[in-house]
Structure formats: C-alpha cells, structure tokens
Chain A
Amino acid sequence: AQSVTQLDSQVPVFEEAPVELRCNYSSSVSVYLFWYVQYPNQGLQLLLKYLSGSTLVKSINGFEAEFNKSQTSFHLRKPSVHISDTAEYFCAVSDREYGNKLVFGAGTILRVKS
C-alpha cells in the first residue's frame, strides 16, 4: 500500500524568502506524483505533476519540485514567496494501477507574512 508523509503541518515564512515543503512517499511500484494547492474555502487545484521524463518539474507561478527516486521524495520549492501563496499544499501519489487512485498527504499550511 502507498502512503505519503508531509513532514511539516505548518510552515511560516516571510514574504520574498525561499520555502521548501517536504514530501516523502512509500510505494513498491512506479508512481505518478502531484502537488495540489487549496486556497481557503475552495477546491484543490493542480500545481504541478511528475509523470515521467525530467525529474525537475515547474509550475507557471514559480514553484518547482524534484522527483528523487532513491530518497522517495518530491519536495516543493519556491525561491521567493508572495503573500498570495498563502494556502494549504497537498502532496499526492498514484501507483497507476486499477482506478488510478490518489493517496494524499495530510497537507502543509504555508503562511506567508509581510
């Protein structure tokens, strides 16, 4: 069975500082990996995904994540955060088997302070 661990439940950071949100997963098979973002009182939006190919994937708003197979990690980074990045971030894994189901981490709340 798969599992996802997000090591920090909350990450406070000042505006324009760099941030890293950590995600580790466990799976015995090849996986797809995702980061979703949830703004207050809204649904989840896909931020970025790793399906295959380059292990470094980037979003249009400056986030990036690197798939590290040996460390089973998919950490999310941004070199300079904005107030508008305040949200909850979820890491998720799919083993690509029947149903293409996702297993989510518990989430990390990113609080950007001015």
Chain B
Amino acid sequence: NAGVTQTPKFRVLKTGQSMTLLCAQDMNHEYMYWYRQDPGMGLRLIHYSVGEGTTAKGEVPDGYNVSRLKKQNFLLGLESAAPSQTSVYFCASTNLNEQYFGPGTRLTVT
C-alpha cells in the first residue's frame, strides 16, 4: 500500500514551457486535491476533484489545469510556466475524515 505518490520529485522549467505532474493513490478515495506550498503562506488549494471525471477550482486555479480520467490518478498541468509558479506542489486524497498527502514535487521556473 503506497498511499499517495507523486511524480516527478523535482523539475526545473524555463518560462513558457509546459509540464504535467502526476498524482496516484491506491486507497480508492473519491476526493483528490492539488495544493501549492509557499513560504509563510501555508498550503493553498489549486484544484480538486470529488470523483472520476469531475474537477473544480480551488483558491488559486489560474495558470493550472487538471484532469481526473481515472479514479486513482489526478493530473496537474501547467500550459505555460511562469516564475510565479515556482513552488512545492502537494497532492492529497481523502476518505472524508482526513487528507493523506504525497511527498511533494519541487518545481522551479526560471
């Protein structure tokens, strides 16, 4: 039982490049989330999903897109990366009592 996994762990992008972050969970959770963590700001919700095929915007959705084609996977896409998207990205899933977090992806946009 791996819990929540994220790939890649680290990535450096140039401004304007695109990439996709993959989150996978093996706990059969319906709800999944993408957060970004910036110093002094805690975690902020980017997008979330309440089930396969559904997505919704969180607090800071601009510049990101998501897809939930399979229940166990939640993808976060950056179509045209900007330096302001330099951050640590965390994925989470929930059984409605607590959220389980992945190890994070550290993204730097130069």
Contacts and interface: CB of A to CB of B under 8 A. Distances in A.
Contacts of B104: 42-43
A36 B103 CA distance: 14
Nearest to B96: A100
B101 A104 contact: no
Contact of A43 (B45, B50, B97, B102): B102
Contacts of A104: 42-44
Count class of interface residues, chain A: 20 to 34
A99 interface: yes
Contacts of B58: 101
B31 A100 contact: yes
B42 A101 contact: no
Contacts, number: 52
A31 interface: no
A7 interface: no
Interface in B57-110: 58, 90, 92, 94, 96-104
B50 A90 contact: no
Contacts of A103: 45
Interface residues of B, number: 25
A82 B58 CA distance: 37
A42 B6 CA distance: 12
A34 interface: yes
Contact of B97 (A6, A42, A51, A105): A51
A44 B97 contact: no
A99 B90 contact: no
Interface of B: 4, 31, 33, 40-45, 48, 50, 56, 58, 90, 92, 94, 96-104
Interface of A: 4, 6, 9, 34, 36, 42-46, 49, 51, 90, 98-107
